[in-house]
């Protein structure tokens, strides 16, 4: 069906809500094509898109279609799975509550139990709820750190991790088999709430989650002596972190926490920031302002669904330094390993996990403590799979997992990125350096001096619509067929193609990769630096990851700049 035919099908649907009809009538031809040329696809963590009318937009019909697919998957598995049901949470975005309860109404039509949070809650709490309630699946309505016009739909498996590939593929097939989303039936919401088939949850799960959170911090004496008076500024950036982060910090003993109150208000327009992305220093503008007023040692920000955390640290000149996702991962890993070693609780079989595009600095840190690092594909579900493997085989003890995109997990009672846990750990680490008369900025420098000056940069190129998808495919094809022999005048030592599952060294010897297939290319240089290329699984973007090791910070940054320019020239 052409995009014009899809558009007309929507326009002709008599029961289309007025706001979606107005959206259709306002479309120019280019917008119409982008909205209807394809369907939103499941990527590394579900689907995400612009809010509005269309098959390539997120709206009640696309949500119903996705949930109908999930309902059919559950029905195929049997009656016991229907009784276990689905946990559902949502963030502060436009239509998030509507999408959550629409999902519950679709499930109820199939006689499937659902547990829906009464108000916005963080993604990690949804992951926890799946495990705590023993549901078969979870649904999280969120677009993470995307700008206000976006929303999304993430599906979780019974372990609380993002749905693993086998079930996700089956779910995708069920969704694709639904030819007309307008025909998806929904139950009466209020009637099914009254019947108990749709159960509203809230504070009861909050308290259970917060009980588990008590185990995240390692050294309570340190917090009692140095953390309780340490000034911390926190901003939830208008999102779900407000529901739990303040309570978790207070529970741990951090009594001098200042919150950016204007950003503690749930606001789907994120009116105080250009983008609610804690990766960006711009998102910290109000936190920095408050930090200067109160003399804060550390600033922390969580994204709208509180699965990612950004950190800024006080420097000697009084300014705040914005840490990269890799730097945060390094300082958390170093502290966890050192604290356990000091306490005599470091397991002999300690293990950490990270994505293949995250810094090797953490692998070097892990090695220095005798811990094993596991590299997995991008997508936190692959870290969750490793945790499940460790528990099943009893071969390793999980201590920490992270992705360079500001996602961290300390304790595995959650099986996805958990910014609430990360906020607590960053606060404890700041207290640790304070006990030594140092700051977190000093801590980062100590790590570089001990392990080398690692530097990383991610280039993200947005290419939207039909043309954009073709451009992304062409760029991946060009790298596969015509990749340079060198970057920064340094030979490529190993080429890894995670789609073909091959690793080729400079002599042409080929060995097999053991990860699941994924459209990722990685080039490791003779000096240990590397470059990786991958299309985003949830956005119309292609990403380039650059990682280098230098003799100094300046040397590392110069290498990054050289490689960045070479990539930009190559993809022109």
Kindly list the catalytic residues: 144
Nearest 5°: the CA angle 471, 476, 477 is 95
CA dihedral 179, 538, 513, 484 (to 10 degrees): 120
Is 309 in contact with 325 (CB distance < 8 Å)? no
- CA distance readout (Å), 5 to 9, 12, 26, 33, 64: 6, 10, 17, 11, 21
Is 422 in contact with 310 (CB distance < 8 Å)? no
- CA distance readout (Å), 282 to 312, 388, 568: 11, 37, 24
**Strand, helix or coil for residue 474:** helix
- 368: number of Cβ within 10 Å: 13
3-state secondary structure 31-53: HHHHHHCCCCCCCCCCEEEEECC
**Residues forming beta bridges with residue 309, ordered by sequence position:** 302
The count of residues in the chain is 572
Structure tokens at 41: 């696809």
Is 212 in contact with 237 (CB distance < 8 Å)? no
User: Residue-wise over 227-250: b if at least 16 C-beta within 10 A, else e?
Assistant: beebbbbbbbbbbbbbbbbbbbbe
- CA distance readout (Å), 201 to 91, 118, 121, 416: 15, 6, 11, 20
Is 354 in contact with 329 (CB distance < 8 Å)? yes
**Strand, helix or coil for residue 239:** coil
Task: Name the residue among 246, 277, 275 with its Cα closest to residue 260.
Answer: 246
Q: How far apart are CA 193 and CA 552, in angstroms?
A: 61
Q: How far apart are CA 122 and CA 154, in angstroms?
A: 13
Structure tokens at 73: 């998957």
Structure tokens at 17: 């809500």
The DSSP symbol for 226 reads I
The DSSP symbol for 495 reads E
Element (H, E) at 19: helix 18-25
């Amino acid at each position: 069906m052409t995009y014009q035919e899809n558009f007309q099908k929507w326009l002709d649907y008599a029961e289309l809500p007025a706001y979606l009809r107005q959206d259709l009538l306002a479309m120019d031809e280019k917008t119409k094509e982008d909205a209807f040329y394809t369907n939103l696809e499941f990527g590394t963590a579900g689907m995400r898109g612009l809010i509005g009318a269309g098959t390539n937009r997120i709206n009640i019909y696309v949500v119903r279609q996705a949930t109908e697919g999930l309902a059919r998957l559950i029905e195929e598995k049997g009656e016991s799975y229907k009784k276990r049901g689905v946990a559902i949470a949502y963030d502060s975005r436009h239509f998030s509550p509507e999408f959550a309860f629409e999902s519950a109404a679709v499930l109820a039509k199939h006689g499937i139990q659902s547990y829906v949070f009464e108000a916005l809650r963080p993604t990690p709490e949804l992951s926890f709820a799946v495990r705590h309630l023993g549901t078969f699946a979870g649904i999280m309505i969120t677009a993470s750190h995307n700008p206000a016009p976006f929303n999304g739909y993430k599906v979780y498996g019974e372990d609380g991790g993002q749905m693993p590939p086998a079930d996700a593929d089956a779910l995708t097939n069920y969704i694709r088999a639904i030819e007309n989303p307008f025909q998806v039936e929904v139950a009466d919401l209020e009637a099914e709430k009254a019947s108990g088939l749709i159960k509203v949850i809230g504070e009861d799960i909050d308290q259970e989650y917060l009980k588990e959170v008590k185990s995240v911090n390692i050294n309570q004496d340190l917090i009692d002596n140095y953390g309780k008076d340490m000034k911390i500024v926190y901003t939830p950036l208008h999102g779900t972190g407000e529901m739990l982060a303040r309570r978790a910090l207070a529970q741990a003993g951090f009594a001098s926490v200042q919150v950016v109150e204007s950003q503690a208000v749930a606001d789907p327009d994120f009116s105080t920031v250009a983008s609610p992305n804690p990766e960006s220093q711009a998102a910290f503008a109000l936190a920095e302002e408050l930090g200067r007023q109160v003399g804060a040692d550390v600033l922390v920000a969580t994204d709208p669904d509180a699965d990612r955390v950004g950190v800024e640290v006080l420097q000697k000149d009084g300014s705040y330094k914005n840490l990269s996702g890799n730097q945060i991962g390094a300082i958390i890993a170093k502290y966890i390993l050192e604290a356990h070693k000091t306490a005599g609780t470091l397991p002999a079989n300690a293990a950490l996990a990270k994505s293949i595009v995250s810094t090797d600095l953490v692998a070097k840190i892990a090695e220095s403590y005798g811990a094993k690092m596991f590299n997995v594909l991008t997508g936190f579900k692959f870290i969750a799979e490793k945790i499940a493997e460790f528990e099943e085989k009893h071969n390793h003890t999980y201590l920490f997992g992270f992705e360079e995109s500001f996602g961290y997990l300390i304790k595995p009672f959650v099986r996805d990125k958990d910014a609430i846990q990360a906020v607590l750990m960053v606060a404890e680490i700041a207290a640790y350096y304070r006990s030594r008369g140092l700051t977190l900025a000093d801590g980062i420098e100590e790590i570089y001096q001990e392990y080398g000056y690692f530097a990383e940069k991610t280039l993200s190129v947005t290419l939207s619509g039909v043309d954009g998808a073709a451009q992304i495919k062409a760029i991946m094809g060009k790298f596969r067929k015509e990749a340079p022999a060198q970057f920064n005048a340094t030979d490529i030592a190993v080429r890894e193609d995670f789609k073909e599952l091959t690793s080729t060294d400079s002599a042409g010897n080929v060995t097999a990769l053991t990860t699941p297939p994924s459209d990722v290319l990685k080039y490791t240089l003779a000096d240990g630096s590397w470059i990786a290329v991958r299309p985003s699984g949830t956005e119309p973007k292609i990403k380039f990851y650059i990682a280098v090791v230098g003799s100094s910070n300046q040397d590392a940054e110069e290498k990054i700049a050289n490689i960045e320019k070479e990539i930009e020239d190559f993809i022109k």
